[in-house]
């Protein structure tokens, strides 16, 4: 684990607008949302950190000092997926991946004090024996992009970017600390997960019900596609729709099927992922397309 850095989590709104506008001017395109993929030294990464802090402060009480202390040691190994609203010219959501070969990602480093298994036990339990690991360390969507169609689009773009870039970058394992809502959402779209070393939920950084999970990365994409097919079949009209709350359940299944399909196939999503040239840090990712 690297020493803590002095990365900022409190950019002023004018700087956020300036950096976002510069990216949009350099990368014009259609579609309301676009995902910028950048390394830790990019100005867009600073925008992403500020968004992380804003959402995590509101949700869990984690201010800039807490964020810097918790994530600072991992900055050099962080990759950011920043979703930008082209129409409004503002960031909408962000996710941070931390890369290592097992130990040295935040989830694996933090888990032992909560689940009663040491790092060596965790790595052995999930076959993490030196292959590339991505820790889905944060995922944050601003409040105004939740609860409607735009919320689904923002999170869909983040999940799809994770799959596309991880596949191209040779990721073998993924781990994450998930609060109750994130765990439920990933299960709904079909992501196969196992809790680390068979552990249960625990309190973590302001989240009352958190789970540390492992994902077999090469298996995720196909599993999500299969979930989309199952949800489509389950959403077909029938006698269920005539029962109490039946129509509402069918609509939820149709929405879930659409989200899983987009994440699993990249339809209407992959063309809106931009790997920003020269701003990848140690990752050196190839452009999408």
Confidence of residue 133 (pLDDT cuts 50, 70, 90): very high
For 54-88, the pLDDT digits (tens) are 999 999 999 999 999 999 999 999 999 999 999 99
Measured distance CA(77)–CA(40) in Å, rounded: 8
Q: How is 203-236 classified by DSSP, letter by letter? A: EETTEEEEEEEEEEHHHHHHHHHHHHHHHHHHTS
More confident residue, 102 or 206: 206
Long-range contacts (CB closer than 8 Å, 24 or more residues apart) made by 261-266: 261/225, 261/228, 261/232, 262/156, 262/160, 263/156, 263/159, 263/160, 263/163, 263/189, 263/224, 264/163, 264/190, 264/221, 264/222, 264/224, 264/225, 264/227, 264/228, 265/225, 265/228, 266/160, 266/164
pTM: predicted TM-score of the whole model, two decimal places = 0.91
Q: Which residues pair with 174 in a beta bridge?
A: 134, 215
- Per-residue pLDDT of 189-224, as tens digits, reads 999 999 999 999 999 999 999 999 999 999 999 999
Residue 23 has pLDDT above 90, yes or no: yes
Superfamily of segment(s) 13-275: Gcn5-related N-acetyltransferase (GNAT) (3.40.630.30)
| pLDDT per residue as tens digits for the range 221-264 | 999 999 989 888 876 765 455 465 655 566 666 777 788 889 99
The residue-averaged pLDDT of 139-149 equals 84
């Amino acid at each position: 684990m690297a020493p803590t850095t002095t990365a900022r989590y409190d950019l002023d709104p004018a700087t956020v607008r300036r950096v976002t506008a510069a990216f949009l001017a350099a990368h014009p395109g259609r579609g309301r949302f676009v995902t910028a993929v950048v390394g830790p030294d990019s100005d867009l990464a600073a925008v992403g950190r500020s968004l992380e802090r804003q959402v995590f402060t509101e949700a869990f009480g984690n201010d800039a000092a807490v964020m810097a202390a918790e994530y600072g040691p991992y900055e050099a190994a962080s990759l950011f997926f920043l979703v930008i609203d082209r129409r409004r010219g503002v960031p909408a959501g962000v996710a941070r991946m931390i890369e290592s070969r097992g130990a040295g990602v935040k989830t694996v480093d933090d888990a032992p004090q909560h689940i009663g298994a040491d790092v060596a036990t965790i790595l052995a339990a999930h076959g993490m024996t030196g292959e590339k690991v991505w820790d889905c360390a944060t995922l944050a969507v601003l409040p105004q992009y939740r609860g409607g169609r735009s919320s689904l689009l923002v999170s869909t773009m983040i999940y799809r970017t994770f799959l596309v870039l991880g596949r191209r970058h040779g990721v073998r394992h993924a781990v994450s600390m998930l609060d109750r809502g994130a765990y439920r959402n990933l299960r709904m779209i079909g992501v196969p997960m196992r809790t680390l070393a068979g552990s249960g939920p625990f309190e973590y950084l302001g989240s009352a019900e958190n789970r540390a999970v492992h994902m077999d990365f090469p298996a995720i994409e196909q599993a999500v596609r299969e979930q989309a097919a199952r949800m489509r079949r389950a959403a077909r009209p029938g006698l269920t729709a005539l029962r109490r709350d039946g129509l509402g359940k069918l609509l939820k299944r149709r929405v879930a099927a659409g989200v899983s399909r987009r994440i699993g196939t990249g339809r209407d999503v992959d063309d809106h992922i931009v790997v920003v040239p020269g701003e990848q840090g140690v990752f050196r990712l190839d452009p999408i397309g």
